[in-house]
Amino acid sequence: MKAENIDPMLTKPLRIQRVQRELPDTFTLEILPSNGGFHFTPGQFNMLYVFGVGEVPISICGDPEKSKSLVHTIRIVGSVTQAMSRLKSGDTIGVRGPFGSSWPLAEAEGKDVVIVAGGIGLPPLRPAIYHILNHREKYGKVVLLYGARNKEEIIFWKELEQWRSRFDMEVHVTVDRGSGNWHGNVGVVTTLVPRATFNSADAIAMMVGPEIMMRFTVLELLKRGITGDRIYMSMERNMKCGVGICGHCQWSHHFICKDGPVFSYEQIKVLLDKHEI
Partner 1 sequence: MNKATTSSNRHYILQSGDFQRLLDSIIGNGYRCLGPTVQDQAIVLDDVSSVKDLPVGWSDNQQAAAYRLQKNGSPAFFGYVLGPGSWKKFLYPARERLLTTTRSRSGWKAEASAEPVQKMAFLGIRPCELQALAVLDKVLLEGTYADPVYRARRSQILVIAVNCAEVGGTCFCDSMSTGPKAVSGFDLALTEIITDGKHHFVVESATAKGDEIVKLAHGVSASDQEISKADAVSTAAAKKLSKKLNTIGVKDLLARNLTHPRWKETAGRCLTCSNCTLVCPTCFCITVEDYTDLKGNSAERVRRWDSCFTMDHSYIHGGSIRNTPDSRYRQWLTHKFSSWWEQYGISGCVGCGRCITWCPAAIDVTEEIQAIRDSEKT
Distance, in Å, from the CA atom of 213 to the CA atom of 208, rounded to the nearest integer, reads 9
Identify which of residues 183 and 274 has a Cβ nearer to partner 1 in the complex.
Answer: 274
Identify which of residues 78 and 187 has a Cβ nearer to partner 1 in the complex.
Answer: 78
**Minimum distance, C-beta of residue 253 to partner 1, in the bound complex (Å):** 3
Q: According to DSSP H, which parts of 86-194 are helical?
A: 122-134, 157-165
**Minimum distance, C-beta of residue 57 to partner 1, in the bound complex (Å):** 10
- If one asks whether residue 7 binds partner 1 (CB under 8 A), the answer comes out as yes
Alpha-carbon distances, residue 205 vs 28, 46, 104 (angstroms): 26, 24, 9
Identify which of residues 23 and 133 has a Cβ nearer to partner 1 in the complex.
Answer: 23
Residues contacting partner 1: total by CB under 8 A: 44
**Minimum distance, C-beta of residue 24 to partner 1, in the bound complex (Å):** 16
- If one asks whether residue 24 binds partner 1 (CB under 8 A), the answer comes out as no
Give, as ranges, the residues between 63 and 122 that touch partner 1 (CB under 8 A): 77-78, 91-92, 94
Give, as ranges, the residues between 199 and 258 that touch partner 1 (CB under 8 A): 236-238, 240-241, 243-248, 250, 252-253, 255, 258
Q: What is the secondary structure of 40-53 as a DSSP string?
A: --TT-EEEEEETTT
Give me the 28-67 binding string for partner 1, x by CB under 8 A, dash otherwise: ---------------------x-xxxxx------------
- If one asks whether residue 158 binds partner 1 (CB under 8 A), the answer comes out as no
CB–CB of 69/62 below 8 Å?
yes
Closest by CA position to 149, among listed 187, 192, 123, 194: 187
Residue ranges with strand state E in the chain: 12-23, 26-32, 45-50, 54-59, 70-75, 92-99, 113-118, 142-148, 170-175, 185-186, 204-208, 231-234, 250-251, 254-255, 262-264
> Is the peptide bond prior to 98 cis by the omega test (within 30 degrees of 0)?
yes
- If one asks whether residue 12 binds partner 1 (CB under 8 A), the answer comes out as yes
Answer for which of 201, 212, 219, 277 binds partner 1 (CB under 8 A) is 277
Identify which of residues 75 and 172 has a Cβ nearer to partner 1 in the complex.
Answer: 75
Alpha-carbon distances, residue 263 vs 74, 121, 251, 269 (angstroms): 22, 15, 12, 10
Residue numbers at the binding site for partner 1 (CB under 8 A): 1-4, 6-13, 15, 49, 51-55, 77-78, 91-92, 94, 236-238, 240-241, 243-248, 250, 252-253, 255, 258, 274-277
